[in-house]
Amino acid sequence: MNSQAGCPWRVIDTGVLRAAENFALNQALLDCHQSGLSPHTLRFLRFSPSALIGFHQHVEQELRLDYCHEHGIEIQRRVTGGGALYFDETVLGWELYLDKHIFGTAQMGAVAERICTAVADGISRLGVDARFRPRNDIEIAGRKVSGTGGAFDGDSILYQGTLLLDFDVERMLRVLRIPAEKLSDKAISSARERVVSLRELLGETPAIKGVQRHIMDAIGESFGIKFERAGELNASEQVAYVNALAEIDTTEWVYQHNRPLADAPMLESVLRTKGGVLRACVAIDQPRQHLKQVWLTGDFFVKPRRVVLDLEAALKDTPLAKLESNVDAFFAKTESEMLLLEPRDFATAIRQAVASADSACEVSS
């Protein structure tokens, strides 16, 4: 156990780095914290243009490699799980390396709520109304401004998130391997409605140091601690970083989980209901039989509009066997108004999209 009760937490800003360097620091800081060689730490970071996949993902299934190569975008694999992302200098990353006993629970949902609520408070001090959205997003007026996630290593937790200072939604969509129709003007406009940057809300990009200060202050107040700034890693962290970078900054690391592209297709369905047309676009983790991500669109009425965004967030990484029960549980605790549309219609559309993979297998065989 990394006991540091009563000690100030460290804050470091590693600036703009290549993705391989950022991920090597992830590995080094988490390993050293678990070994008692690092203090509790808040790290701020940024990326040079990078196309990133989760640790268990396949590069060619998630990214458009030709676009990345043409535009000088680095391709890299994270040391943690999650989905494919595009980051550049306009995205501010924040990370906490802490002892899980601080939270009094090992449930990642409770950890996420505690940390995200604090960070949302810090973002709100810029003059916006940021709030935690389960499972692990921070939103402003129903639009995502920060995505987050975490990982355990023994008694240590790495919890990390990103904050959109300014963001090019169209470039993000072109980096990721998504259906061609998702790149239409209408689809790009729809994507912009789901996310928002601070520049769009404030009329200008806020100063990075000011954003960092607000987040640091809010976390400090939430956890009842003080921060001490540090300019460099300690000696143990430096050694761990060099070793991690030697492993991560290689093609062997980046392409280690490659599988045939057909193993993880983007699956779609169209369901015509009494309440209108419901479209589901689904990415699944075949080996684990989990939903990775769900996108729900169509011609139907739901009020408030954010209900669909919240449902998509709630279904991330859902076991396929629990799809219907998780949809039922979501609507049982969510106030919504739907015109002739039933909660189970969403589950049905998703289930039909998933079933299309089985149909494709039967045809090919």
**Residues 271, 206 share a domain:** no
Structural domains counted in the chain: 2
Q: pLDDT averaged over the chain?
A: 89
Q: What is the domain range of residue 55? A: 9-254
CB of 21 within 8 A of CB of 74?
no
How confident is the model over 63-76, as a mean pLDDT? Answer: 96
Among 254, 278, 308, where does a domain finish?
A: 254
- Please indicate, yes or no, if residue 69 is contained in any of the structural domains: yes
Residue with tokens 């408070």: 121
The domain that holds 211 is classified in CATH as 3.30.930.10
Among 254, 281, 312, where does a domain finish?
A: 254
Pairing of strands 41-47, 91-99: antiparallel
How confident is the model over 252-261, as a mean pLDDT? Answer: 74
Could you give the residue ranges of the DSSP H alpha helices within 63-184? 65-70, 108-124, 169-175
**Residues 182, 34 share a domain:** yes
Among 254, 285, 300, where does a domain finish?
A: 254
**Residues 151, 55 share a domain:** yes
- Please indicate, yes or no, if residue 4 is contained in any of the structural domains: no
Rounded CA-CA distance 6/242 in Å is 31
**Residues 96, 218 share a domain:** yes
- Please indicate, yes or no, if residue 238 is contained in any of the structural domains: yes
**Residues 328, 269 share a domain:** yes
Residue 212, H or E segment: helix 208-223
- Please indicate, yes or no, if residue 259 is contained in any of the structural domains: no
Residue 365's pLDDT is 39
CB of 305 within 8 A of CB of 95?
no
Is the pLDDT at 319 greater than 60? The verdict is yes
**Residues 225, 105 share a domain:** yes
**Residues 197, 77 share a domain:** yes
**Residues 303, 217 share a domain:** no
**Residues 278, 240 share a domain:** no
Instruction: Return the number of other C-beta atoms located less than 10 Å from residue 221's C-beta.
Output: 12
Q: Express each pLDDT in 25-44 by its tens digit.
A: 999 999 999 999 999 999 99
Q: Which residue has the higher pLDDT, 359 or 227?
A: 227
